[in-house]
Structure 1
Amino acid sequence: MALSMSSFIAMSVGSRELAQTLSIRQVLFFRALVGLFVIAPFLPRLWPELRQMRSLKLHLLRNFVHFTAQYFWTIGVVLLPLASVFALEFTAPIWVAFFAWGILGEKLTRARILANIGGFIGVLVIVRPGFEVIDPAAGLVLLAAVGYGLSLVLVKRLTRDCSPAAIVVWMILIQLPLGLAAALTDWRPVHMTDIPWMLVAGAGALSAHFCMAQALQRLEASIIMPVDFLRVPLAAIAGYLLYHERVDLFVFLGAAIILGSNFQAMRAERRA
C-alpha cells in the first residue's frame, strides 16, 4: 500500500504537468500507452494466463467503470477547486465498504464503518473545502468516487481468478483503445518536453494499480481503503516540496485523525 500511494502521487504529478499542454483525453491515452511499453517484455510470460481470457466480461466492466471514473475526476480537477475535488474523491472508500459488502460478502463491521468515517473527517480537516455553491462538476466527481469504489471491489473479485499482473495487463489492453478514441476527438500537438512527464504518469499509474491489486489479493477491500486516506497528507507534502504549496497544521491534524482511525480499526480487527 505504501508503494501504491507513492505511485499514485507520481501519477498525479505527471498528469498535472501534462495537462498544461495536452488535453485531458490525451493524458489518459498516453498514460495507458506508456503502460503498454512497460508491460510488453512480460507479455510472453503472461500469455498462457491471458489467452484463457478468465473473467473477460468482468475485466471489461471494471475497466469501463474505471476509465469513466478517471475522466469524470479529471474534469473535476479542471473545473473545481482542488480541495473540493480531494474531499469529494475520498468518499470512494465509503463506497468500497458498501460494494464489498454487497458484491464480495465482506462483513460491514462497526470498526470498518468508524474507520471510514474517521478517515473522511480527517480529509475534510486537511482540505477544508467550501460547498457554498453546488457545481455540476461536483456531481461528476462524486460519480467518479462511486466508480472508483466499484472498480476496486471488482479488482478484488478478479483476484480470485487472475494474478495481479494479468489484471494490470487487461487494464492497459482495454483502456488503451478507449483512451485513443477519446484523445482523437481533442488532439493537441505533443512536444518533446512532454515525454518525461508521460513516463512519470504512465509508470506511476502502472505501478499504483499493480501494487493495489497485490494488496487487494492479500487483504479485504474495506480494510485497505481506509489506509488509502493517507494519500492526501502525502500529496500535500509532495505539493510543498515540488510546487512550494503551503502545508499548515490542518494537514498534520487530519493525518493524525486518519492514522488514529485506522489504528483503532486494525486493533478491533485483530481482537475479533
Structure 2
Amino acid sequence: MWMVLTTILFVGVTATVRYLEGEVPAPQAAFLRYAIGTLLLTPSLITLIKIKPNKPLMSKFLLRGLVHSFGVTLWFYAMSVMPVAEVTAIGFLTYIFVSIGACIFLKEKLHKHRITAVIISFLGALIILRPGFKVIESGQLGMLMATVVFTASYLIAKLVSKERSSSEIVAMLSIFTTIFLIPSAIYSWEPISIEALLILAFTALIATIGHITMTQAIKAAPMVVTQPILFLQLVWASMVGLFLFDEQFDLYVIIGGTIIMICVCYVSYREHVLGKKITNDVLQKVI
C-alpha cells in the first residue's frame, strides 16, 4: 500500500511540473522546488546543527548537491517538453545505471544478472527513442543525461549512508542542491505568477511525502516485493498524459518502459536471492 501511494505521489510531481509547460525556466523551477522542500524539512535541519564538522563527509555532501543540481535542472527541462509517460519510462533507467555503477565505482561484484539487465534495458531505451526512425529531441537527450547524473548522485548517497541517517542525507541534499541552483536560477529568473508558485510549493510537498512513503514501503516489505509495484508509475503517467494533457498514447513508450521495469525487478529479485541489502537512499528518486 505504501509503494502504491508512492507511485501516485511521484506521478503527481511529474504532472504538476508538466502543467507549468515551461512557464517557469527550468533552473528557477528547480530552485524554488528545492528551496520550499528545504523549509518542509526544517525539523530534520535542526538535528544537523548537532553534527560535528567532518571535512571528508562534507565534501561528499557538497559534491552530491552540485551533481544533483544539474540532474534536477535537466529533469525539469525534459518534463516541460516531453510527454509524462515518456519521462517516466526513461527515468526507470536510473535504477539499472545505479546497479552497474555500484560495480564500477563501489567495487561491488559484477554478477551476470546485472550485465544482462543493462543490455536488455538498453534495448528498451532504443524502443522508446527509436533512433533512425524519428528525430531524438532535446528533451529526450536531457532526460537521458538526467538519469546518468542522478545515478552519480545516488552512488554518493550510498557512500554517505554508512555514516549518516536517511533523514540527514535527504536534508543535506536539499540544502546543497538549493545553494548550487542559486546562480543558474538568478541568471534565468523571470517574474512568476502566484499560481505557478503555489504549484511548485505543492510539487515540493508531494515530493517530500513521496520519499517518506517510499521509505516506509521499503521498511515494510522486501525490495523484491516493492520494486514491481513501481511499474504502476508508467500506468498512472500514461493515464495522466492522456486525460489531463491530451497526450497521444505511445505504444513504443509502454513497451520500452515495461522492458526496463522488468529488468529492474529482475535485478532486485537476483539481489534478494543473493542475500544482498540494497541501500534505501540509493534507490530513492529525489526529484
TM-score (norm. length: structure 1) = 0.76
Matches of 2:176 and 2:39 in 1, distance apart?
15
1:114–1:265: 8 Å Cα contact kept in structure 2?
A: no
Matches of 1:101 and 1:227 in 2, distance apart?
25
Instruction: Find 1:142's aligned residue among 124, 133, 144.
Output: 144
Amino acid in structure 2 at the alignment position of 1:240:
L
Distance 1:72 1:219, change over 3 A: farther
1:207 Cα deviation from its structure 2 partner: 3.7
2:282 aligned residue: none
2:81–2:139: 8 Å Cα contact kept in structure 1?
A: yes
More off after superposition, 258-267 vs 145-154: 258-267
1:175 and 2:147 matched: no
Distance 1:28 1:91, change over 3 A: same
1:159–1:217: 8 Å Cα contact kept in structure 2?
A: no
Matches of 1:110 and 1:230 in 2, distance apart?
27
Instruction: Find 2:18's aligned residue among 16, 19, 38.
Output: 16
Three-state SS of the structure 2 residue aligned to 1:48 is coil
2:227–2:268: 8 Å Cα contact kept in structure 1?
A: no
Matches of 1:150 and 1:216 in 2, distance apart?
21
Matches of 2:89 and 2:195 in 1, distance apart?
32
1:155–1:213: 8 Å Cα contact kept in structure 2?
A: no
2:95–2:264: 8 Å Cα contact kept in structure 1?
A: no
- Structure 1 segments unaligned to the other structure (5+ residues): none
1:69–1:145: 8 Å Cα contact kept in structure 2?
A: yes
Matches of 1:215 and 1:109 in 2, distance apart?
26
1:102 and 2:104 matched: yes
**What do the CA deviations read for 1:29-69 (whole angstroms, capped 9, x no partner)?**
110121122112443244323x5457111111112111112
Q: How does 1:47-62 map to 2 (within 5 A)?
A: 47-49=49-51, 51-53=52-54, 55-62=57-64
2:27–2:185: 8 Å Cα contact kept in structure 1?
A: yes
Matches of 1:20 and 1:155 in 2, distance apart?
30
Alignment coverage as a number of residue pairs: 269
1:166 Cα deviation from its structure 2 partner: 0.8
2:277 aligned residue: none
1:27 Cα deviation from its structure 2 partner: 0.5
Matches of 2:72 and 2:124 in 1, distance apart?
23
Matches of 2:99 and 2:219 in 1, distance apart?
16
1:142 Cα deviation from its structure 2 partner: 3.3
Matches of 2:76 and 2:261 in 1, distance apart?
27
Distance 1:116 1:153, change over 3 A: same
- Structure 2 segments unaligned to the other structure (5+ residues): 275-287
1:122–1:253: 8 Å Cα contact kept in structure 2?
A: yes
More off after superposition, 115-124 vs 234-243: 115-124
Q: How does 1:23-172 map to 2 (within 5 A)?
A: 23-49=25-51, 51-53=52-54, 55-78=57-80, 89-119=91-121, 121-122=123-124, 127=128, 129-131=130-132, 132-133=134-135, 139-172=141-174
1:229–1:258: 8 Å Cα contact kept in structure 2?
A: no
